[in-house]
C-alpha cells in the first residue's frame, strides 16, 4: 500500500513536471516570436468584405492580425493602405512604437478609423504571439462579462416617426433574443424622418441630396419639441423600468432647446441623451457648450463617438462637461487609446459607454477585450451585428450565442480570439481583393 502511495506521488510529480515543461515551452515559443525583434510585419492589406473595410496585418511568423472599420465607411481602403510603408519591417508587438508613428496622421471621424483598425490588428498579433488574450496585454480583466446595449439599426427595419412607432420599436428591441438590459433609439436631428413627420418642426433648412450625415439643425418650434418629448415618453413606457433606455439626439440642437428637452424628459429617467450639441462626423467637441447643458439638468448628457485621440477628450473630461463619454474603438485610435480615456474619465467622475453600432464582428471582439479591462465607470458598449448575415458563417471563435441574457462572457483565446474561416470568407471577396488571404 505504501509503495502504491509512493508511486502515486511520483506519478503526480511527473505529471506536474510535464505540465510545467509544456508551459515553459509555450512561453519560450512566444518569446522567440516576440522577443528580439524576431517577428516582423511583411504586409498590410485591406479588403471590403460586405461593407466593412477589413484590415489584415501579415507577419514573417505566419501570424496575421485582423481589425475592422465601420460598415458605413467602405471608402476607407486607400486610407488604410496609406500606412503600409510605415508598418513594413516593424515588430507588430511593439504596438506603442507603431502607434507613435501613425497616430498623428489620423483625424476626427471618419479619418481616424484606419489608424484604429490597424491598432486593433496589432493587438491581435501581439496576443497570438504571446499566447494570451488581448485583455491580458492591456493589464488584465476587471470584468468577467461585458454588457452590450441594443439599438434600432441592428434590430429593426422600422424608421420611427410617431409616438406609436417609438413604442413599437422600443418593445421590439427590448424583446430581442439577446435579452438587452439597455437599449438606445434615435430622436430629434438624429432621425430626419421623425422631425419631418410633422410640419415646421424647426426653423431651418431640411438638407436633401448627397450631403454629409446630420446636416439638419436649428431652433425647434414648440410642436417640434412636443413631438420629440412625446416619442421619448412612448418609448420609455414600452421599455418599462426593467430595461434602461437612452436616446441618440443629434447633433444640431441649440443650447436652450437642448436644456428644455433634457429637463422635459427628466421624469423618464433616461440613461442618457447623446450628441445634442456636436457629435457624429463633426471635427471638434464643444466642451464649454456641453457643460452648460449638463449643469442645467439632472438628465445625463453623453457625447464622443466622432472624437479621435485622448487629447481631444481633455477639455470634456477636465471641465466635467458631460456625464457619459462614448468613444468608438474603431474611430478613437484603438482599444488601448479608449482604455486610457476611460481611466482618465473615471478620475473625474464621468461614465463610459463606447459607441459601436456598425463595428462588425471583429469590432465586437475588440469591444469585449476593451470592456474587460475598463474601470468601474464602464456601463456598456453599443452592440454590432454581422451585416450581411453571412458574416457569422465566415468568422470563427465567437461564442454561440454571442450574447446570453444581456451579457457577453469574456473569452480567453489568444489575441482577439476570433479569426476567419478563410475558405468561406474567400467566396465573399471582391475581384480586386482576391489576394487578401494569400
pLDDT of residue 209: 85
The answer to whether 265 touches 229, Cβ cutoff 8 Å, is yes
The predicted pLDDT at position 408 comes to 98
Class of the CATH domain delimited by 41-131: alpha beta
The pLDDT value given to residue 29: 45
Partners of 68 in beta bridges: 54
- Check residue 22 and give its pLDDT: 41
Ranges in the chain, pLDDT < 70: 1-37, 154-155
Of 132, 37, 155, 50, residue with least CA distance to 90: 37
237 burial level (CB within 10 Å; 0-12, 13-18, 19+): middle
Q: Which residue has the cell 515588430?
A: 91
> Which pLDDT score is estimated for 210?
84
State the first-to-last Cα distance of the chain, in angstroms, to the nearest integer: 61
Residue 155 has what pLDDT? 67
C-alpha cell of residue 4: 502504491
Query: Which part of the chain has CATH 3.30.390.10?
Result: 41-131
Rounded Cα distance between 326 and 120, Å, is 18
Cis, peptide link before residue 398, omega less than 30° from 0: no
Q: Where in the chain is the domain with CATH 3.20.20.120?
A: 137-414
Q: Based on the number of CB atoms within 10 Å of its own CB, is 152 exposed (0-12), middle (13-18) or buried (19 or more)?
A: buried
Just give the CATH number of 137-414. 3.20.20.120
Using omega within 30 degrees of 0 as the cis cutoff, is the peptide bond preceding 42 cis?
no
At 372 the pLDDT is 98
Positive or negative CA dihedral for 369, 373, 374, 379?
positive
For 198, counting Cβ atoms within 10 Å of its Cβ (0-12 exposed, 13-18 middle, 19+ buried), the class is middle
pLDDT at residue 11, rounded to an integer: 42
Q: Determine how β-strand 244-248 pairs with β-strand 219-220.
A: unpaired
pLDDT, tens digit (0-9, with 9 covering 90-100), for 155-183: 677 899 999 999 999 999 999 999 999 99
Q: What is the pTM of this model?
A: 0.91
pLDDT of residue 152: 86
Amino acid at each position: 500500500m505504501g509503495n502504491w502511495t509512493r508511486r502515486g506521488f511520483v506519478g503526480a510529480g511527473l505529471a506536474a513536471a510535464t505540465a510545467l515543461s509544456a508551459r515553459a515551452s509555450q512561453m519560450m515559443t512566444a518569446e522567440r516570436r516576440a522577443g528580439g525583434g524576431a517577428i516582423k510585419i511583411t504586409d498590410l492589406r485591406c479588403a471590403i468584405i460586405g461593407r466593412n473595410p477589413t484590415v489584415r496585418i501579415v507577419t514573417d511568423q505566419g501570424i496575421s492580425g485582423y481589425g475592422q472599420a465601420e460598415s458605413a465607411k467602405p471608402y476607407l481602403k486607400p486610407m488604410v493602405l496609406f500606412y503600409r510603408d510605415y508598418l513594413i519591417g516593424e515588430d507588430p508587438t511593439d504596438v506603442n512604437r507603431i502607434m507613435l508613428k501613425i497616430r498623428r496622421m489620423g483625424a476626427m471621424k471618419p479619418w481616424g478609423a484606419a489608424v484604429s483598425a490597424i491598432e486593433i490588428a496589432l493587438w491581435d498579433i501581439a496576443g497570438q504571439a504571446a499566447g494570451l488574450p488581448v485583455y491580458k496585454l492591456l493589464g488584465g480583466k476587471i470584468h468577467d462579462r461585458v454588457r452590450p446595449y441594443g439599438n434600432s439599426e441592428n434590430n429593426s427595419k422600422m424608421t420611427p416617426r410617431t409616438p406609436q412607432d417609438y413604442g413599437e420599436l422600443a418593445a421590439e428591441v427590448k424583446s430581442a433574443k439577446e435579452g438587452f438590459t439597455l437599449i438606445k433609439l434615435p430622436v430629434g436631428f438624429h432621425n430626419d424622418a421623425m422631425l419631418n413627420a410633422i410640419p415646421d418642426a424647426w426653423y431651418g433648412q431640411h438638407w436633401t441630396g448627397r450631403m454629409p450625415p446630420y446636416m439638419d439643425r436649428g431652433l425647434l418650434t414648440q410642436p417640434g419639441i412636443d413631438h420629440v418629448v412625446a416619442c421619448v415618453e412612448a418609448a420609455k413606457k414600452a421599455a418599462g423600468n426593467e430595461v434602461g433606455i437612452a436616446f441618440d439626439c443629434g447633433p444640431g440642437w441649440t443650447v436652450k432647446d437642448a436644456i428644455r428637452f433634457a429637463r422635459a424628459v427628466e421624469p423618464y429617467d433616461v440613461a442618457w441623451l447623446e450628441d445634442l450639441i456636436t457629435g457624429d462626423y463633426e471635427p471638434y467637441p464643444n466642451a464649454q457648450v456641453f457643460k452648460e447643458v449638463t449643469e442645467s439638468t439632472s438628465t445625463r448628457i453623453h457625447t464622443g463617438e466622432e472624437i479621435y485621440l485622448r487629447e481631444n477628450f481633455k477639455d470634456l473630461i477636465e471641465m466635467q462637461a458631460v456625464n457619459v463619454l462614448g468613444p468608438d474603438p474603431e474611430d478613437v485610435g484603438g482599444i488601448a487609446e479608449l482604455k486610457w480615456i476611460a481611466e482618465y474619465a473615471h478620475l473625474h467622475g464621468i461614465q463610459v459607454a463606447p459607441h459601436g453600432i456598425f463595428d462588425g464582428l471583429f469590432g465586437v471582439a475588440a469591444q469585449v477585450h476593451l470592456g474587460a479591462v475598463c474601470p468601474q465607470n464602464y456601463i456598456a458598449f453599443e452592440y454590432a451585428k454581422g451585416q450581411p448575415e453571412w458574416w457569422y458563417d465566415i468568422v470563427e471563435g465567437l461564442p454561440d450565442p454571442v450574447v446570453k441574457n444581456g451579457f457577453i462572457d469574456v473569452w480567453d483565446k489568444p489575441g482577439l480570439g476570433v479569426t476567419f474561416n478563410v475558405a468561406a470568407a474567400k467566396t465573399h471577396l471582391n475581384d480586386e481583393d482576391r489576394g487578401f488571404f494569400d
